Chain A
Amino acid sequence: MAESPLRARPALDGYNRSIGAVALAEVSGLALVSAAAPQGGDEAFAAALAGGLGAERPATGDSSAGDKFGARVLGMQPDQMFILFEPPDPDRPAETVSAALGGAAYVTDQTDSWAMLRVAGAGVRNALERICMLDLDDAAFPEGRVARTVMEHLAVIVLRDGADSFLLMSPRSSARSFLHAVELSVANLSQ
């Protein structure tokens, strides 16, 4: 039997750097779990979100804050939410959500599927416009808005979590290419 538990390696090795006015930092420690409403179970699902996480069910493209586990519920698909939260047991995030929702949803752990990078600071939108085709204007993409899109051939989930702050999630296997794309966009703009 192995002597020591396995060491976890973050997707971006804890990357943290400021380029000009923009800070780029890997977000680790948060769990991400998908929750899908069974057919005919929309009401129970909404009730479970309210009861288990204290969150409203967001429309697709929106997100809502919960009052448990620091949760934010992201409306990814018409019948599928992503729940971003602080897991009490980092190795069993799906179980936490499953218990909170009391079986009202099909849950799947997505924590390790995505590298999470927060980019924040004045001018962050000017950097993102080099790779992101979404309109990130205040009116079109206010705080709390979420979207899955594509940047430099890579899938990216964009969550606006502040006036000048975006949480970007991109598949783990290509995380280094993704980080390079974001870094280059910021560097191309900075003086």
Chain B
Amino acid sequence: MIIDHPLLGPRDAQEFVILGDASLIDRPDWQAGDAARQFHDYLHLRDNPAGEHRELWFHEQGDRSWLVVTRNTLTHEILKVELARDVAVARGRDR
């Protein structure tokens, strides 16, 4: 596979490590009343869609950026590649 890195252009997927569902960005609040339940869901419950899927990939043998790759799991078509940091900030993550 080839991942079209937003900063570097197309790079072979061999340079990357996949982590999984991009929802791992949405780490729950540790002080929430039901934090244990939220963390359980965050860590263990995933959708496994046949179709578009947002995934976290790490450009380990590259610029060390974490990316959010939107990929069709049926065709392997890659529809979008974003810097995960930008995605995280847009989703309200900060300090």
Contact = CB atoms under 8 A, between A and B. Distances in A.
A and B touch in the complex (CB under 8 A): yes
Interface string A40-62: 00000000000000000001110
A76 interface: yes
A157 to B, nearest CB: 10
Given A78-B7, A78-B83, A60 B63 contact: yes
Given A59-B7, A78-B83, A148 B12 contact: no
Given A59-B7, A78-B83, A133-B14, A150 B61 contact: yes
A50 B61 CA distance: 29
A77 B65 contact: yes
A80 B62 CA distance: 12
Contacts of B7: 59-61, 78
Given A59-B7, A61-B7, A78-B83, A150 B14 contact: yes
Contacts of B61: 148-150, 155
Nearest to A75: B63
Interface in A139-175: 147-150, 155
Interface string B63-85: 11100000000000000000101
A78 B64 CA distance: 9
A59 B8 CA distance: 9
A155 B62 CA distance: 9
B8 A61 contact: yes
A137 to B, nearest CB: 13
Contacts of A133: 12, 14-15
Contacts of B11: 149
B81 to A, nearest CB: 14
A133 B16 CA distance: 13
Contacts of B65: 77-78
B15 A77 contact: no
Contacts of B14: 133, 150
A149 B83 CA distance: 18
Interface string A71-94: 000001110100000000000000
Closest 7 CB pairs of A and B: A150-B61, A60-B7, A77-B63, A133-B12, A61-B8, A77-B64, A60-B63
Given A59-B7, A77-B64, A133-B15, 13 more contacts: A60-B7, A60-B8, A61-B9, A61-B63, A76-B63, A76-B64, A78-B7, A78-B65, A148-B61, A148-B62, A148-B63, A149-B15, A150-B61
24 contacts: A59-B7, A60-B8, A60-B63, A61-B8, A61-B9, A61-B63, A76-B64, A77-B63, A78-B63, A78-B65, A78-B83, A133-B12, A133-B14, A147-B8, A147-B62, A148-B61, A148-B62, A148-B63, A149-B11, A149-B15, A149-B61, A149-B62, A150-B14, A150-B15
